[in-house]
Amino acid sequence: MEEIRKAVGIALQIQREAKEVSDCLSGEYASSDGWRDDVAESFFRYTSPVARKADELVYCVTEAERACSHAAMYDAEREGRELNGLQREVAAL
């Protein structure tokens, strides 16, 4: 579970950094001479796949974490049923 949390942290950091750079290259920092537009276009062309992979990683890790949580709940329910069964057997003795 700790590895899952680390992976989510890394993916979220990639997303934040990509957004910070894209915000700097567009918006209030954009110049009228067009060179930043070229830089921004290059940035998006080369980082978009990385950002998409980060999004996919966040999604996959979130789903894995959810699956682990469901499995843990299922195991707890199963163990609870087993314990209840044992308690009934002991009570029947």
DSSP string, 33-72: TSHHHHHHHHHHHHHHHHHHHHHHHHHHHHHHHHHHHHHH
What's the pLDDT at 26?
62
Q: Which residues of the chain have pLDDT under 50?
A: none
Residues 62-87 have pLDDT tens digits of 787 888 888 888 888 888 788 787 77
What's the pLDDT at 66?
83
Mean pLDDT of all residues belonging to the chain:
73
Express as a percent the part of the chain with pLDDT over 70. Answer: 69
What's the pLDDT at 19?
74
